[in-house]
Amino acid sequence: MNLCGFEVGLDRPFFLIAGPCAIESEKLALQTAETLRDICHRLNIPFIYKSSYDKANRSSGTSFRGPGMDEGLRILEKVRRELGVPVITDVHEKEHVKAVAEVVDVLQTPAFLCRQTDFIQAVAAAGKPVNIKKGQFLAPWDMLHVAAKAKATGNAQIMVCERGASFGYNNLVSDMRSLAVMRQTNCPVVFDATHSVQLPGGQGDRSGGQREFVPVLARSAVAAGVSGLFMETHPRPAEALSDGPNAWPLGRLESLLRTLQHIDQLVKAQDFPENHPEDLI
């Protein structure tokens, strides 16, 4: 699959989707995107900048959601134009799809909405590549149906993204088998290493997180074999206005990516036997 001018798949090095959870300001967006662009240029990692104009699924109605669609899209368009990087953002409403698709390079659907048929098909019908996040409540094999709904619109540029599964209250667990299972969609599989360490609603009126486990899960996912990685990052995670507890510090990202590159090169140097279970009998 061609994505933003580069090829993605299990036979290609992983690509990176990264940025702060929500757009906090134009200055922060430009500074963070520039730093990420430069890191990925040094490491030769294909990069897409991510940030949300509206986080419509915050725990509390008083939590920061972002600048809104108009201002958020203006900032994303400026990042794209001035820094020359592709951009991706979440879209939560069918009515927003057209306007968002006119600005961004890739559309993303929130995990909670993966079963909403009309919504998924409206996003896919925009004709842009789509990253569909698997719901925390969904089995990985059920993404076959979600991907099929999206592809029924005629859009073949569909990715599926693992972000952990609900495991009791206020907790998620990542089953690395799901990454292999989701390959059966014939879509590039992306692993979200930061939302997977989230503790949903774990701080009462907001979600908590265990960012110290981001490298653990990222290393595990790359070893399992993925096409792309999704990581929310922030220069000062403790001050982030959304998802700070699970964001990875921007200043420590390059060293982590170097480790992940080594793992990626090793596992992709040979075939994945789990892709041919008939040979294992």
Q: Is residue 277 part of a domain?
A: no
Q: Is residue 274 part of a domain?
A: no
Q: Is residue 276 part of a domain?
A: no
Q: Is residue 74 part of a domain?
A: yes
pLDDT score recorded for residue 60: 67
**Dist CA 106 CA 108 (whole Å):** 7
Q: Is residue 278 part of a domain?
A: no
Residue range of the domain that includes 172 = 2-269
Q: Is residue 280 part of a domain?
A: no
Q: Is residue 81 part of a domain?
A: yes
What is the separation of C-alpha 20 from the centre of its chain, rounded to a whole number of angstroms?
A: 11
Task: Give the model confidence (pLDDT) of 204-251 as tens digits.
Answer: 666 778 999 999 999 999 999 999 999 999 999 999 998 899 999 999
Q: Is residue 128 part of a domain?
A: yes
**Dist CA 214 CA 247 (whole Å):** 8
**Dist CA 37 CA 156 (whole Å):** 27
Q: Which residues pair with 228 in a beta bridge?
A: 15, 190
Cα torsion angle, 195, 200, 206, 208, sign: negative
Going residue by residue through the chain, which has 281 residues, state the pLDDT in tens, using 9 for 90 and above: 999 999 999 999 999 999 999 999 999 999 999 999 999 999 999 999 999 999 777 666 767 888 999 999 999 999 999 999 999 999 999 999 999 999 999 999 999 999 999 999 999 999 999 999 999 999 999 999 999 999 999 999 999 999 999 999 999 999 999 999 999 999 999 999 999 999 987 676 667 789 999 999 999 999 999 999 999 999 999 999 988 999 999 999 999 999 999 999 999 999 999 988 888 88
DSSP 135: P
The two structure tokens encoding residue 178: 């799901």
- Count structural domains, the chain: 1
How many of the other CB atoms lie within 10 Å of CB of 130? 27
For residue 77, give the CATH number of its domain.
3.20.20.70
pLDDT score recorded for residue 278: 83
